[in-house]
Amino acid sequence: MLQGRVLGIRRGLNRQYQREALIKVEGVGCKEGAARLVGARVELKWRGNKAFVGRVVSLHGDGGTIVARFRKPLPGGVAGMEASIIL
pTM: 0.91
- If DSSP codes are grouped into helix, strand and coil, which group holds residue 31? helix
Residue 51: its pLDDT value, please?
93
3-state secondary structure of 55: strand
The CATH number assigned to the domain with range 2-86 reads 2.40.10.190
Q: Partners of 68 in the beta sheet?
A: 21, 56
Q: Which of 82, 20, 80 is nearest to 56 (CA)?
A: 20
31-86 pLDDT tens trace:
999 999 999 999 998 888 889 999 999 999 999 999 999 999 999 889 999 999 99
Q: How far is CA 61 from CA 29, 65, 85, in A?
A: 11, 7, 19
Instruction: Report the 10 Å Cβ neighbour count for 87.
Output: 10
pLDDT class of 29 with cuts at 50, 70, 90: confident
* 37 CB-side CA count, 13 A: 32
Give the pLDDT band (50/70/90) at residue 20.
very high
